[in-house]
Amino acid sequence: MIEFRSVRKQYDDGTVAVQELSLTVPAGTVTVLVGPSGCGKTTLLRMVNRMIEPSSGAVLLDGGDVRDSEPARLRRGIGYVIQQAGLFPHRTVRDNVATVPRLFGHGRREARRRAEGLLERVGLPSEIGKRYPAQLSGGQQQRVGVARALAADPPVLLMDEPFSAVDPVVREGLQDELLRLQGELGKTVLFVTHDIDEAVKLGENVAVLRQGGYLAQYAPPEQLLAEPADDFVTSFVGRDRGYRRLSFVDSSGLRAGSVDTVRIGDTSADVPSQAGWVLVLDTHDRPRGWLPPEATIHGQLTEDQLIAGGSLHTGGAPLRGALDAALSSPSGLGVVVDEDGVYLGVVTARQVLEILESGRHPAVSEGAFR
């Protein structure tokens, strides 16, 4: 558990980075500090490992004041992941990961062996260990950064905008990976970002900070979206918070309907009545696109005759995906698939709204706010 007790940071030139701020980060959870630049989120993070000392107040780590520990020793017991990964360019990936075990005095061989295990843990092949950081992609470097932070098995992990320098697709993969890892490891994670979507996705609790170092709201993400505390939080979480809140609503009450389907390679004889939209599947029953009503097919049905489909909703995932699938589909029918991408059925936006109206769904999933 990390506890900020009335911490305040004022620099010599008079600027205040953090106002008297108290915050408790529960053990074993991901807590996100989010806010615009200049809100003091990185300052707060660095108070935990004493890279910044508060002007007043105290930071407690599992009940003990961090000032009672010598900084270098304290830091070796706290994982830290930085933007751009901060890998050492002159050391191989393996030796980067082995850094903290080496600082703890472990032998090179043991530290490297451990490093290779960690690389696999974060989803990297162990042969990557012999390369230098410059030979990896941005996403791979970030994974190495996470592996390095985990190398000494610290109970606490500080992450300072770790994924903000990679492109959106890679970022999403890294976020999913972090959630998967956290499911296995159950660390106490304090995560800094300026991206509210990232905060809402990763955080069990989210602290929204305002310029000048004020805590605007501290709540589980679903509560943040449903009941923003003030105008600042409202504008910061964005206009479509009602829509984004659907990320926390269970879709199990949604009953998928059916639609006519054909397969790639079928001829016009196989195509049904053509009165409405027809969903086109591949040979593994995965959706490929749509045929509009009254479409004529010459010879065999090929991909280039299709209208591209919308996003796909994986059955059982939150309601947001179902609504998006319906809204983005050219037919207005959202395609539901299973985890392997196999077609299950279709849903309409109206069905999603009906579920919301009926209120039969559990309001929001139970948060971890304590």
Q: Which residues bind other proteins (CB under 8 A)?
A: 49, 51, 72-76, 78, 80, 82-91, 99-100, 103, 131-132, 134-137, 145, 148, 158
Backbone phi and psi for residue 246, each to the nearest 5 degrees, phi listed first: -60, -20
Which C-beta is closer to other proteins: that of 21 or that of 150?
Answer: 150
At residue 57, what is the residue type?
A: G
Distance in angstroms (rounded) separating the CA atoms of residues 96 and 366: 39
Which C-beta is closer to other proteins: that of 17 or that of 312?
Answer: 17
In the chain, what is the greatest distance between 2 CA atoms, to the nearest angstrom?
81
User: Least distance in Å: CB of 282 to other proteins?
Assistant: 29
- Which residues, at least 6 apart from 168, have a Cβ–Cβ distance to it below 8 Å? none
User: Least distance in Å: CB of 89 to other proteins?
Assistant: 6
User: Least distance in Å: CB of 278 to other proteins?
Assistant: 41
Which C-beta is closer to other proteins: that of 51 or that of 295?
Answer: 51
Per the listing, tokens 């950064």 go with 145
User: Least distance in Å: CB of 90 to other proteins?
Assistant: 5
Which C-beta is closer to other proteins: that of 145 or that of 345?
Answer: 145
User: Least distance in Å: CB of 110 to other proteins?
Assistant: 18
Which C-beta is closer to other proteins: that of 193 or that of 329?
Answer: 193
Structure tokens at 290: 């749509």
User: Least distance in Å: CB of 128 to other proteins?
Assistant: 10
User: Least distance in Å: CB of 318 to other proteins?
Assistant: 34
User: Least distance in Å: CB of 237 to other proteins?
Assistant: 29
Which C-beta is closer to other proteins: that of 82 or that of 264?
Answer: 82
Which C-beta is closer to other proteins: that of 96 or that of 329?
Answer: 96
Structure tokens at 321: 């995906």
User: Least distance in Å: CB of 130 to other proteins?
Assistant: 10
Which C-beta is closer to other proteins: that of 134 or that of 275?
Answer: 134
Which C-beta is closer to other proteins: that of 69 or that of 314?
Answer: 69
Distance in angstroms (rounded) separating the CA atoms of residues 306 and 261: 13
Distance in angstroms (rounded) separating the CA atoms of residues 155 and 162: 18
